Amino acid sequence: MLKRNPYYETALASIFTALVFVFTSIFTIVTPPTRGFFNFGEIGVYLSALIGGPIAGLIAGGIGSALADVFLGYPHYAPGTLIIKGIEGFIVGEFFWQFRKLKENQRRLVTVIVSIAVFSFITGFGYKGINITIGTSKEENILGINIGVFKAFIPGYIFIIVAIMLSLLIFYLGWMRGISGIMILACAIGGLEMVLGYFLYQVFVLNYGIINALSEIPVNLTQMLIGLSVAIPVVNSLKEMGVSVEGT
């Protein structure tokens, strides 16, 4: 990893912290069972980590997301967010760098392990199906749009199908040569830490119960998928324009 001037690192982390704050705050949907909210924050976290590296990802992911929690009226999540999303940003940046240094057979071994872990994680909590509730008739998101209440039951076979498709996608991309597959692996690992971290925080710190905490896992998985779907093409486009990306 290239050594950078500490003033440059500080400025970079500050810019990305603001970026994460904006992405987290710009659009939100309330999730009543856990008193949390859906957001686009993962886009900012992944951009910070992939472009700025693990330290920028750590600072921007943790501080930017926690400040957004306080600003949006969810201070009870701020302490957990500071740690969970800070670790997420660090993991994405660090794994991105480390994966690039692995030999092809080592990277493929990691890919197999991650694919199995993703499949086991998703099917493990969702094989029985999950009831979810999103939105509320009494609150509006930051854009002032009242979305009402959305309730649904996601059957277990949906989770199994998603688990198979996602694990196969990770396996395929990790088996390929190329920077995009490595970025997807790094974001997937960091995203799973985020999903698991909030589940544990909601169960053991906020005492919302396992059922309520489980209901938000599909929401957090969606945030992860949206985040990597947007961040990775943006990073690739920036690279083509000559912007320096961590480790490249």
Averaged pLDDT for residues 83-101: 93
Helix or strand run (H / E) with residue 23: helix 6-25
131 φ, ψ to 5°?
-85, 130
pTM of the entire structure?
0.82
Q: Using the predicted structure, report yes or no on whether residue 116 has a pLDDT greater than 50.
A: yes
Averaged pLDDT for residues 197-201: 96
Averaged pLDDT for residues 170-189: 79
Distance, in Å, from the CA atom of 35 to the CA atom of 13, rounded to the nearest integer, reads: 29
Question: What is the average pLDDT score of the chain?
Answer: 86
Domains within the chain, CATH numbers bracketed:
6-240 (1.10.1760.20)
- At 133 the pLDDT is 67
Query: Do residues 218 and 178 lie in contact, with contact meaning Cβ atoms separated by under 8 Å?
Result: no
- Per residue in 38-82, pLDDT (tens digit) is 999 999 999 999 999 999 999 999 999 999 999 999 999 999 999
Averaged pLDDT for residues 172-196: 83
